[in-house]
Amino acid sequence: MLRRTAPPNLMVVFGASGDLAKRKLLPALFHLFRQDLLHEGFTVLGYARTEMSDDEFRNQIGEALREHQEAEHTTAFDNVAWENFAPRLFYQPGGYDDLASFQNLATRVAELDQETPTQQNHLFYLATPPNVFEPVTSLLKEVGLSNHSNGAWTRLIVEKPFGHDLESAQTLNEHLLKVFREEQVYRIDHYLGKETVQNILVFRFGNGIFEPIWNRNYVDHVQITVAESLGVGSRGGYYDKSGAIRDMVQNHVMQLVALTAMEPPVAYDAESVRNQKVNVLRSVRPIDPLEVNNWVVRAQYGRGKVHGSEIPGYLQTEGIAPTSTTETYLAWKLEIDNWRWNGVPFYVRTGKALPTKVTEINVMFRRPPLMYFDSRETRRQQVRNVVTLRIQPDESIILSFDAKRPGPQLDVEQVNMDFTYSRAFGGTDISDAYERLLLDAMLGDSTLFIRRDETELAWDRVTNVLEGWAIQEEILRRRGKVLQLPQYAAGTWGPLESDDLLAHDSHYWRNPELNGKG
Ligand code: BG6
């Protein structure tokens, strides 16, 4: 296998003094650097409003990297690598919507292209709040930075939130595509950079034994759980405007659905893989907004204990209005109307303040036609063969099936056959999603980035739900009532309404075993 190392380039990070840059981007770049995966001509230019010199920026980032290292690893901070990395970092202060700042930026970029061997390849990263996406990209165009010289490239990475509904996503796409070509735009969803998410495709299409049974003839239903144990903490200001549907479902959860359900691509390349994901999203049955409650459950966490620590209810969190109707939990029954999945519900759920942090996909197979073997579970008619793709933590793939318990009587118990990353590939660090994605963007590989049509289709289905909720609220308002979301105590698996959604189909959630992490 060829080692994938990045070509030389200058990466301009907008929002360089923000949380994302410090917690994710720079640590990822530093780790790539330490693995020798960046070119010697790699240079970072941080850009933000705060006045700072290059050295002050380097100090800030150095501190952030040390903190990150302490939080994530037991190994000591690599001072030698840092001493070599720091001189590659530069900083340019400026506004996000004034031409003069961008003219200064263009001058600085030209200087750095001269002083460092960037080969005039430019990667712009929008790690800013979304309200400046449009002005920043317009100004890039105005000062000539959206162009590139012969033989060089210019790319743009856009962070979420990518719009807040279908219309705003379309508007943003139209705007970006006036400045850049679609091939230059890399819409990031960090879930796609997770090793185990990529492994969904290897598991399905790199093996001959699973794909023949991965369809409506054998699969009864699919469950996808993306649970988080933390509450919203200090991110209330952002979260309250998004809620679980925009923060997690439109992007991460829909991507997991697409990868689990997609047809084999004609080749493993950006266009073929994304074509098949788009086909799945197109096949997701749009719901009638008036029937939203038949398909979607939303709720908010109340006070409770997670891993033994008390956390305040969502409405008691600082920065959240006590009347907020933002959902912190969402469960959705999706139907995929295509030949492979017709009649196989995909139940997805995500929430904050759940008992543990875990993401897993459970493919629940049909039962055998006759159930001969008696056991407590089979009597309840609940046992199934299950393939569990555990995305995080304890990355693994588990096959659950029935086995005879040793002894004179015929007692059956569900057992697991499991493949665990840490055991199989012991000692290999599972790298952070951002590392993989930043490297891919530098290499011009957009397979793991979201194409325009993908994001718009996901927004289309999500917007049906948002419309349904808006209608409900309007009806209540006219009756002089206010909406109150179902509550679940922090540290529990969500509201009863979510269990009812499955019980209606004689199904029940398969809750991951608690492992004390999170
Ligand atoms: C982000 C959301 O996209 O994903 C956060 O904005 C969420 O609210 C996070 O906590 C979860 O990511 P991960 O990688 O920790 O599962």
H-assigned helices in 421-510: 421-424, 433-443, 452-478, 496-503
Residues contacting residue 235 through CB under 8 Å, at least 6 positions apart:
none
What is residue 375's three-state secondary structure?
coil
Taking the C-alpha atoms of residue 246 and residue 56, their distance in angstroms, rounded to an integer, is 35
Query: Looking at residue 424, what is its pLDDT?
Result: 86
Please report which helix (H) or strand (E) contains residue 379, including its range: helix 376-379
* C-beta 247 within 6 A of ligand 1: yes
Q: Identify the residue whose C-alpha is closest to ligand 1 atom 6.
A: 247
**Partner residues linked to 392 by β-bridges:** 359
- How many C-beta neighbours within 10 Å does residue 219 have? 21
**263's torsion region: left (phi>0), alpha (psi -120 to 50) or beta?**
beta
pLDDT at 1: 53
Going from the first residue of the chain to its last (518 residues), give the mean pLDDT of each consecutive group of 10, the final group possibly shorter: 83 95 94 93 96 97 89 79 96 97 98 94 96 97 91 95 96 97 97 93 95 96 97 89 96 98 96 98 97 97 95 94 96 98 98 97 91 63 83 91 88 88 77 92 96 98 97 95 95 97 95 60
- Report how far residue 268's alpha carbon sits from residue 218's, in angstroms, rounded to the nearest whole number: 26
Residue 196 and residue 405: Cα distance in Å, rounded?
A: 32
395 lines ligand 1 (CB under 6 A): no
**At residue 324, what is the residue type?**
S
How far away, in angstroms, is 231 Cα from ligand 1 center? 12
Beta-carbon-side half-sphere exposure of residue 67 (alpha carbons within 13 Å): 11
pLDDT value at position 516? 42
Predicted confidence at residue 92, as pLDDT, reads 98
Taking the C-alpha atoms of residue 375 and residue 89, their distance in angstroms, rounded to an integer, is 63
Choose which residue among 187, 228, 246, 301 to substitute to test ligand 1 binding: the one with the highest number of ligand atoms within 8 A of its C-beta: 228
